[in-house]
Amino acid sequence: MQFEALQPVSAQALAGCLRLQQVAGVGLLTAHRLLQRYGSFQALFETDYAALLGCLRPAQASAVLAPPAPALAALVEATLRWQEQGGHALLAYGAPGYPPLLARLPAPPLLLYVQGRRELLACTALAIVGSRNASQQGKLTAQRMAHALSDAGLTIVSGLAQGIDGAAHAGGLAGQGSTVAFIGTGPDRIYPAANAALARRIAVEGCVVSEFALGTPPLRDNFPCRNRLISGLAAGVLVVEAAAKSGSLITARLAVHQGKELYAMPGSIHATLAKGCHQLIRRDGAKLVESADDILVDLGLLERAGAGYTQPDDAFVDTLLQALGQQCATADGLSQQLNQPVAELQGQLLALELAGLVERLPGGQFQRVWQ
């Protein structure tokens, strides 16, 4: 799917949007109400105090009409330069190209910063989330589920966190549907740093999206905001591993409120990282999932998976680890040794790296990590 070139966001519109976002005491719900009433940023900022008192408290009205922050002009200029870079796009609410599913949220972002394949924002998607401190088995499970669902045509959505999120993105990249990462920082920041290489790859082969201005650090309050976009873009949310108080449960419950499908993978009754999933199944109506087929059947998409879909092959992973043995090897070398396509091996190696079973070395070498 190819999209025509977007009309760049103008300097005037961008300045108005960024200025409104910086107004103290004005959140997205109020911002949308003001724009609906005044029709444009220019009309809003040119109105008078008495008129604003019809829909705002005095302190809010004063804040809206206060002079813009001195740093605003530099931020506008930096954002315009960011927009001009290859693969970058600014999607303004109400303008062509803005994702329809996100536009339906109660308070959609006024501006989305997009890097990579923005056509993925219009594809049928499934969110996969879970614990940052995931088990090795949990990460492998998330990667394999994401790979199978991506091969069935679903775009995998997650939040670029360590653990389950990173494994889900890796699986999405390995399949046909690719992946979308919603981040809780500005588009020029990567968090966590451990996922920097993965983020750069997604920005080329998939899509990275932020609603936060350039330079925004990883603030705690930003991540629940990011979570509503993860569930908002997806047809459903799958939780792979989650403790009883995991942040992933926020995304799961947002999905319920948004009318999305909710899925959870069960685990041992003794496992801490299974308690959140069991809670979702027991209390929140999550559907128990054991395989990718369970989700595809529920969404009516099994036919799209095609006859070539097979369950992940644990024996092949064992063979790959045995091939590494005590030696270092490149993906090309392993491809020749195992008679397997390089692309498939790259996906498996990335999954094993995320699971802590393989270490990537300089020069494209891989070595097995012995436990």
> Hey, what amino acid is at 55?
C
Predicted confidence (pLDDT) per residue in 195-247, tens digit: 999 999 999 999 999 999 999 999 989 998 999 999 999 999 999 999 988 88
Domain residue ranges in the chain: 8-80, 118-305, 314-368
Predicted confidence (pLDDT) per residue in 214-225, tens digit: 999 999 899 989
Confidence band, pLDDT 50/70/90 cuts, at residue 360: confident
pLDDT of residue 371: 53
Cis peptide before 192 (omega within 30 of 0): yes
Predicted confidence (pLDDT) per residue in 93-117, tens digit: 999 899 999 999 989 999 999 999 9
Confidence band, pLDDT 50/70/90 cuts, at residue 3: very low
- The more confidently predicted of residues 332 and 188 is 188
Q: What separation in angstroms does the CA of 173 have from each of 143, 260, 293, 306? A: 10, 23, 19, 19
CB burial of residue 150 (10 Å; 0-12, 13-18, 19+): buried
- The more confidently predicted of residues 357 and 47 is 47
pLDDT of residue 245: 85
Predicted confidence (pLDDT) per residue in 262-303, tens digit: 999 999 888 999 999 999 999 999 999 999 999 999 998 876
Q: What separation in angstroms does the CA of 353 have from each of 134, 280, 283, 358, 366? A: 13, 29, 35, 5, 9
Range of lowest pLDDT (89-93, 212-216, 338-342): 338-342
pLDDT of residue 7: 75
- The more confidently predicted of residues 276 and 356 is 276
CA dist., res. 314 & res. 316, Å (int) = 5
Predicted confidence (pLDDT) per residue in 160-189, tens digit: 999 999 999 999 999 999 999 999 999 999
pLDDT of residue 312: 44
- Please provide the average confidence, as pLDDT, over all residues in the chain: 90
Tell me: domain 314-368, CATH 1.10.340.30, correct?
Answer: no
CATH topology identical between 118-305 and 314-368: no
Q: Which parts of the chain are beta strand (E)?
A: 88-92, 111-116, 125-129, 155-158, 179-182, 207-210, 236-239, 261-264, 287-288, 329-330, 358-361, 365-368
Closest C-alpha to 248, from 273, 221, 216:
273
Specify the DSSP element, H or E, that contains 317. Answer: helix 314-324
Q: Which residues contact 129 (CB under 8 A, 6 or more apart)?
A: 158, 159, 164, 165, 168, 230, 237, 238, 239, 240, 242, 248, 251, 252
> Which tokens belong to 184?
């809780």
Predicted confidence (pLDDT) per residue in 4-51, tens digit: 456 789 999 999 999 999 999 999 999 999 999 999 999 999 999 999
Q: pLDDT at residue 340 above 70?
A: yes
CB burial of residue 209 (10 Å; 0-12, 13-18, 19+): buried
pLDDT of residue 36: 94
Q: What separation in angstroms does the CA of 83 have from each of 86, 112, 211? A: 8, 11, 14
Range of lowest pLDDT (129-133, 301-305, 307-311): 307-311
Q: State the DSSP string of 258-272.
A: TT-EEEE----TT-G
Assigned fold of 118-305: Rossmann fold (3.40.50)
CA 184, 76, 225 angle in degrees (round to 5)? Answer: 20
pLDDT of residue 313: 58
pTM comes to: 0.82
CA dist., res. 183 & res. 172, Å (int) = 16
In this structure, how many other beta carbons lie within 10 angstroms of the beta carbon of residue 364?
12
pLDDT of residue 354: 61
Confidence band, pLDDT 50/70/90 cuts, at residue 343: low
Confidence band, pLDDT 50/70/90 cuts, at residue 325: confident
Average pLDDT over residues 345-358: 72
Q: State the DSSP string of 14-75.
A: HHHHHHHHTSTT--HHHHHHHHHHHSSHHHHHHS-HHHHTTTS-HHHHHHHHSPPPTTHHHH
Confidence band, pLDDT 50/70/90 cuts, at residue 311: very low
Supply the DSSP symbol for 116: E
